[in-house]
Amino acid sequence: NAGVTQTPKFQVLKTGQSMTLQCAQDMNHNSMYWYRQDPGMGLRLIYYSASEGTTDKGEVPNGYNVSRLNKREFSLRLESAAPSQTSVYFCASMGVGQPQHFGDGTRLSIL
Protein backbone atom coordinates (compact mmCIF):
# COMPACT_ATOMS: atom_id res chain seq x y z
CA ASN A 1 0.00 0.00 0.00
CA ALA A 2 2.62 2.53 -1.14
CA GLY A 3 0.16 5.22 -2.27
CA VAL A 4 2.15 8.20 -3.57
CA THR A 5 5.93 7.84 -3.62
CA GLN A 6 8.27 10.81 -4.07
CA THR A 7 12.00 10.73 -4.71
CA PRO A 8 14.35 12.04 -3.50
CA LYS A 9 13.30 12.95 0.06
CA PHE A 10 16.04 15.57 0.46
CA GLN A 11 18.20 17.45 -2.03
CA VAL A 12 20.66 20.31 -1.92
CA LEU A 13 21.45 22.14 -5.15
CA LYS A 14 23.58 25.06 -6.18
CA THR A 15 22.03 27.99 -8.01
CA GLY A 16 21.76 27.24 -11.71
CA GLN A 17 21.78 23.46 -11.38
CA SER A 18 18.92 21.39 -12.74
CA MET A 19 17.10 18.45 -11.28
CA THR A 20 13.95 16.36 -11.62
CA LEU A 21 11.65 15.38 -8.78
CA GLN A 22 9.95 12.07 -9.32
CA CYS A 23 6.45 11.03 -8.27
CA ALA A 24 4.59 7.75 -8.75
CA GLN A 25 1.18 6.56 -7.56
CA ASP A 26 -0.22 3.05 -7.47
CA MET A 27 -3.91 3.85 -6.98
CA ASN A 28 -4.83 4.12 -10.66
CA HIS A 29 -5.78 7.78 -10.19
CA ASN A 30 -6.34 9.92 -13.26
CA SER A 31 -5.23 13.26 -11.78
CA MET A 32 -1.86 14.21 -10.35
CA TYR A 33 -0.50 17.43 -8.85
CA TRP A 34 2.66 19.21 -7.75
CA TYR A 35 2.53 21.70 -4.84
CA ARG A 36 5.10 23.68 -2.95
CA GLN A 37 4.77 24.49 0.74
CA ASP A 38 6.52 27.48 2.28
CA PRO A 39 6.21 28.77 5.85
CA GLY A 40 3.08 30.89 6.25
CA MET A 41 2.03 30.35 2.62
CA GLY A 42 0.08 27.13 2.83
CA LEU A 43 0.07 24.92 -0.27
CA ARG A 44 0.53 26.49 -3.68
CA LEU A 45 -0.23 24.56 -6.85
CA ILE A 46 2.61 24.50 -9.38
CA TYR A 47 1.25 22.25 -12.12
CA TYR A 48 -1.37 19.57 -12.42
CA SER A 49 -2.35 16.81 -14.82
CA ALA A 50 -6.08 16.14 -14.98
CA SER A 51 -5.50 12.94 -16.93
CA GLU A 52 -2.76 11.07 -18.74
CA GLY A 53 -1.54 13.14 -21.68
CA THR A 54 -2.56 16.55 -20.30
CA THR A 55 -0.79 19.08 -18.09
CA ASP A 56 -1.80 22.56 -16.98
CA LYS A 57 -0.30 25.45 -15.05
CA GLY A 58 -1.29 26.13 -11.50
CA GLU A 59 -0.78 29.21 -9.36
CA VAL A 60 3.05 29.35 -9.43
CA PRO A 61 4.41 27.61 -12.57
CA ASN A 62 7.32 29.92 -13.42
CA GLY A 63 10.70 28.16 -13.32
CA TYR A 64 9.21 24.67 -13.48
CA ASN A 65 8.26 22.11 -16.10
CA VAL A 66 6.37 18.85 -15.75
CA SER A 67 5.97 15.58 -17.59
CA ARG A 68 3.13 13.11 -17.21
CA LEU A 69 5.14 10.09 -18.26
CA ASN A 70 2.24 7.65 -17.97
CA LYS A 71 -0.78 7.20 -15.73
CA ARG A 72 1.40 6.37 -12.71
CA GLU A 73 4.21 8.92 -12.98
CA PHE A 74 4.34 12.73 -12.92
CA SER A 75 7.73 14.45 -12.71
CA LEU A 76 8.66 18.05 -11.89
CA ARG A 77 11.78 19.61 -13.38
CA LEU A 78 13.73 22.66 -12.30
CA GLU A 79 15.84 23.72 -15.29
CA SER A 80 17.94 26.36 -13.54
CA ALA A 81 17.42 26.32 -9.80
CA ALA A 82 17.13 29.61 -7.89
CA PRO A 83 17.24 30.21 -4.11
CA SER A 84 13.56 31.27 -4.27
CA GLN A 85 12.73 27.67 -5.17
CA THR A 86 13.93 26.42 -1.78
CA SER A 87 10.82 24.74 -0.44
CA VAL A 88 9.10 21.48 0.40
CA TYR A 89 7.50 19.93 -2.68
CA PHE A 90 4.51 17.62 -2.48
CA CYS A 91 3.05 15.40 -5.14
CA ALA A 92 -0.58 14.33 -4.88
CA SER A 93 -2.99 12.17 -6.84
CA MET A 94 -6.76 12.06 -6.95
CA GLY A 95 -9.45 9.77 -8.30
CA VAL A 96 -12.80 10.98 -9.57
CA GLY A 97 -14.93 12.29 -6.70
CA GLN A 98 -12.26 11.36 -4.16
CA PRO A 99 -9.98 13.32 -1.83
CA GLN A 100 -6.33 13.84 -2.73
CA HIS A 101 -3.56 11.50 -1.57
CA PHE A 102 -0.19 13.09 -0.83
CA GLY A 103 3.39 11.87 -0.84
CA ASP A 104 5.74 12.59 2.05
CA GLY A 105 7.46 15.45 0.25
CA THR A 106 10.87 16.42 -1.12
CA ARG A 107 12.82 18.95 0.94
CA LEU A 108 14.83 21.02 -1.52
CA SER A 109 17.46 23.59 -0.58
CA ILE A 110 19.11 25.79 -3.19
CA LEU A 111 22.28 27.56 -2.20
Partner 1 sequence: GDSVTQMEGPVTLSEEAFLTINCTYTATGYPSLFWYVQYPGEGLQLLLKATKADDKGSNKGFEATYRKETTSFHLEKGSVQVSDSAVYFCALSAGGSYIPTFGRGTSLIVHP
- Going by DSSP bridges, is the β-strand pair 87-94/100-102 parallel, antiparallel, or unpaired? antiparallel
Give the integer Cα–Cα distance in Å for 60 and 5: 22
Query: Which residues between 78 and 97 bind partner 1 (CB under 8 A)?
Result: 90, 92, 94, 97
* 48 versus 64: smaller Cβ distance to partner 1: 48
Query: Which residues between 42 and 71 bind partner 1 (CB under 8 A)?
Result: 42-43, 45, 48, 50, 58
Region near partner 1 per CB under 8 A, out of 14-22, 38-46, 60-68, 71-79: 38-46
Q: Which three-class secondary structure state does DSSP give residue 106?
A: strand
| Nearest approach, Cβ of residue 83 and partner 1 (Å) | 22
CA 23 → CA 9, 15, 107, distances in Å? 11, 23, 14
